[in-house]
Structure 1
């Protein structure tokens, strides 16, 4: 198989799956990060009644003298939680969030008002509607406020709570089987035998999968034995909605994952035109979508956020939103071979003139976990680029925008 573009790989990975079936109803306190199964329609107006946006005095615009101060009698007082009064010719003391009296069409801030006995002295007229929040001006009853397929965020939950909703209908989360492959791997916490390394990829992938809204079934470390790999692939495929592995998808003599996948399913694409992360296997194991990520940790991270995440979004019943890229100034030179999209780990610093400068992390290799942990995001070098000059503009993807 030849190299395919990153955009094609992400699109084809998402296209190989259907949303996980099933809907459940959850209380709002458990719904953060879940995907809405149906659109939410506002059952009430928001705000539900006209109220004051400030501490001040509610009046009728028609009672104010044009271009001059106005003296009006103080007719009443309403605090938040009190029932609304009815305004005649005069002023009504109101506090922030309190219902404005019927008939009032503006609120004058208390800082702009003076008192003289039982009279309120108001400045020349403010704009009609000033400092007044009308019923339904934020959300009107019957309005769709959140669409089906929306991944709920804390601010969404605040909106739903303001509408009086205690529970919400969401989709089931995809169940993802995860394992690492390699005879050299050892579980963290165990004694490190000679020529072995600790399995870092699974810890990172568990967290990435959880942030992407998956329920993770951690299957541990599998040895480089073709029959064992095939057996575990079949078992995982029968119990989960997606199988994700790391390691064993390159061209070495002990890289058996592709062969095991072909024995129990199919390999649809392999080798993506990116650096790091070229050897990424996408296919199906016993009818279940499969993604095989490389063994090097940086390649695992890049492959996950650009290839695996779109597939997970599809399984979850939502759409993977393209991360926001913003330009920064390169604080270094870099030469690359054309033909692959390259991702460099970089940290940002702000100069005295306000310019944002990207400094490349010194750990350049695809195995450098420190370069991920000690940088702010990824610089994106286009396929056709050969030379990045210091001082030139370069696209930057902050990690915060890649992890949901």
Structure 2
């Protein structure tokens, strides 16, 4: 067995991120930037008013002023400013040349073209002015390569002058749920059968990632059938199986993979749940064999499959976010495998949920966190902080 962090590192080393493509901003959400995004322009491009009011020269003191024009967003004032002159100005409008301060309209009265100060004057030059380049300068990195692109990044890229971005292409993933006992969800279920839940679960976990999924449910425990499935999956980036990853007579993933021309990089991880995980290559695809027990499949997908997808899609930080919080119960010392306890974070405190059996989905469904118990972690008392992963 190898440690979880070693398994993650070896899995990432199996394949570099996939090829790049340029896509319109509207199609870039949820992808990862494949290069630093540089500003093609300066924002603001020139000094702008931050308020509605009057643009003046601070050196003119407290007025009065003579209004000689107007500056609105998209319609700048182009005249010359002299001593005692003011320009009516609106939020977002370009500051007239020679003006350096905006007095807000609530602090003045106006009679025709005369403006008198009635409130507190501006305390310094530049008051209520957004300086040119205050947001970003041309040539600056506005979004670093490897960043996941969300709405706020796309707005920034648009403001920086971009209409499209370089990202990694979408991944192609094959999901195979194996086992003679599996039937499609919703069908009548005999006592020796179980509904196939892993495919539904994994597809849902992957839904917000840039992937296209081919799903095969209820693939039987038959070496020839599994080998044919593997051989027919050329063109996929990741092949994910659930079930058949252990060492029993009906665990056929390893021999089927080898029969199809694949190879194994590692098999078995010192973690609980999810020890019997297989990772290897089949042509250009990474093959990831997850346990069949649904909780084990969820935990291993969260810690291995999702990070692998993020890595291949170009993420600079593919591993899940690890946080810490106080635990609400005493926890014993841990053994030789990293343990992941299903838990709920309630009012800032972690509380384990139900039995931690790898086939018990009810406890998992009530959880919003996985408590992390590292290899040989000492016992902790209620109130002490432990590491955890937020899950949804």
| Same topology, TM > 0.5 | yes
- Residue 280 of structure 1, CA deviation: 0.8
Question: Does the Cα contact within 8 Å between 1:91 and 1:120 map onto a contact in 2?
Answer: no
- Residue 199 of structure 1, CA deviation: 1.2
- Residue 161 of structure 1, CA deviation: 2.1
Q: Aligned partners of 2:355 and 2:100: how far apart in 1?
A: 64
Residue 84 in structure 1 maps to residue 77 in structure 2? yes
Residue 359 in structure 1 maps to residue 317 in structure 2? no
Q: Aligned partners of 2:262 and 2:331: how far apart in 1?
A: 41
Q: Aligned partners of 1:228 and 1:28: how far apart in 2?
A: 43
- Residue 150 of structure 1, CA deviation: 3.2
Question: Does the Cα contact within 8 Å between 1:13 and 1:308 map onto a contact in 2?
Answer: no
- Residue 110 of structure 1, CA deviation: 3.3
Residue 325 in structure 1 maps to residue 322 in structure 2? yes
Residue 285 in structure 1 maps to residue 285 in structure 2? no
Q: Aligned partners of 2:104 and 2:323: how far apart in 1?
A: 41
- Residue 18 of structure 1, CA deviation: 2.0
Q: Aligned partners of 2:231 and 2:160: how far apart in 1?
A: 46
Residue 300 in structure 1 maps to residue 293 in structure 2? no
Residue 182 in structure 1 maps to residue 179 in structure 2? yes
Question: Does the Cα contact within 8 Å between 2:47 and 2:95 map onto a contact in 1?
Answer: yes
Instruction: Indicate the residue corresponding to 2:67 in structure 1.
Output: 74
- Residue 109 of structure 1, CA deviation: 3.2
- Residue 386 of structure 1, CA deviation: 4.2
- Residue 328 of structure 1, CA deviation: 1.4
Instruction: Indicate the residue corresponding to 1:151 in structure 2.
Output: 148
Q: Aligned partners of 1:372 and 1:110: how far apart in 2?
A: 58
Tell me which moved more, 161-170 or 172-181.
161-170
Q: Aligned partners of 1:253 and 1:301: how far apart in 2?
A: 24
Q: Aligned partners of 1:116 and 1:161: how far apart in 2?
A: 39
Instruction: Indicate the residue corresponding to 1:9 in structure 2.
Output: 7
- Structure 2 residue matching 1:289: 3-state secondary structure: strand
Q: 2:246 aligns with which of 250, 255, 267?
A: 250
Residue 227 in structure 1 maps to residue 224 in structure 2? yes
Instruction: Indicate the residue corresponding to 1:353 in structure 2.
Output: none
- Residue 198 of structure 1, CA deviation: 1.2
Question: Does the Cα contact within 8 Å between 1:37 and 1:169 map onto a contact in 2?
Answer: yes
Q: Aligned partners of 2:52 and 2:359: how far apart in 1?
A: 59
- Residue 287 of structure 1, CA deviation: 4.7
Instruction: Indicate the residue corresponding to 1:201 in structure 2.
Output: 198
1:36-83 CA-partner distances (Å, limit 9, x unpaired): 34433222222233212222332222222xxxx543333333332322
Q: Aligned partners of 2:243 and 2:77: how far apart in 1?
A: 67
Q: 1:380 aligns with which of 348, 369, 372?
A: 372
- Residue 10 of structure 1, CA deviation: 0.5
Structure 2 spans left out of the alignment, 5+ residues: none
Q: 2:363 aligns with which of 371, 375, 378?
A: 371
- Structure 2 residue matching 1:335: 3-state secondary structure: coil
Q: 1:161 aligns with which of 158, 176, 179?
A: 158
Question: Does the Cα contact within 8 Å between 1:210 and 1:216 map onto a contact in 2?
Answer: no
Question: Does the Cα contact within 8 Å between 1:45 and 1:139 map onto a contact in 2?
Answer: yes
CA RMSD of aligned residues (A): 2.2
Q: Aligned partners of 2:238 and 2:128: how far apart in 1?
A: 53
Query: Relative to structure 1, is the Cα distance of residues 297 and 63 closer, same or farther in structure 2, using a 3 angstrom cutoff?
Result: farther
Instruction: Indicate the residue corresponding to 2:109 in structure 1.
Output: 115
Question: Does the Cα contact within 8 Å between 1:10 and 1:308 map onto a contact in 2?
Answer: no
Instruction: Indicate the residue corresponding to 2:31 in structure 1.
Output: 34
Instruction: Indicate the residue corresponding to 1:316 in structure 2.
Output: 313
Instruction: Indicate the residue corresponding to 2:269 in structure 1.
Output: 272
Question: Does the Cα contact within 8 Å between 1:328 and 1:357 map onto a contact in 2?
Answer: yes
- Residue 240 of structure 1, CA deviation: 0.9
Question: Does the Cα contact within 8 Å between 2:174 and 2:238 map onto a contact in 1?
Answer: yes
Q: Aligned partners of 2:318 and 2:67: how far apart in 1?
A: 54
Tell me which moved more, 209-218 or 152-161.
209-218
Query: Relative to structure 1, is the Cα distance of residues 328 and 337 closer, same or farther in structure 2, using a 3 angstrom cutoff?
Result: closer
- Residue 267 of structure 1, CA deviation: 1.5
Instruction: Indicate the residue corresponding to 1:345 in structure 2.
Output: 342
Question: Does the Cα contact within 8 Å between 1:17 and 1:314 map onto a contact in 2?
Answer: no
Number of residues paired by the alignment?
Answer: 386
Residue 240 in structure 1 maps to residue 236 in structure 2? yes
Question: Does the Cα contact within 8 Å between 2:43 and 2:137 map onto a contact in 1?
Answer: yes
- Structure 2 residue matching 1:388: 3-state secondary structure: coil
Instruction: Indicate the residue corresponding to 1:391 in structure 2.
Output: 383
Q: 1:102 aligns with which of 90, 94, 97?
A: 97
Query: Relative to structure 1, is the Cα distance of residues 116 and 241 closer, same or farther in structure 2, using a 3 angstrom cutoff?
Result: closer
Q: Aligned partners of 1:102 and 1:285: how far apart in 2?
A: 66
TM-score (norm 1): 0.88
Query: Relative to structure 1, is the Cα distance of residues 307 and 98 closer, same or farther in structure 2, using a 3 angstrom cutoff?
Result: same
- Structure 2 residue matching 1:348: 3-state secondary structure: strand
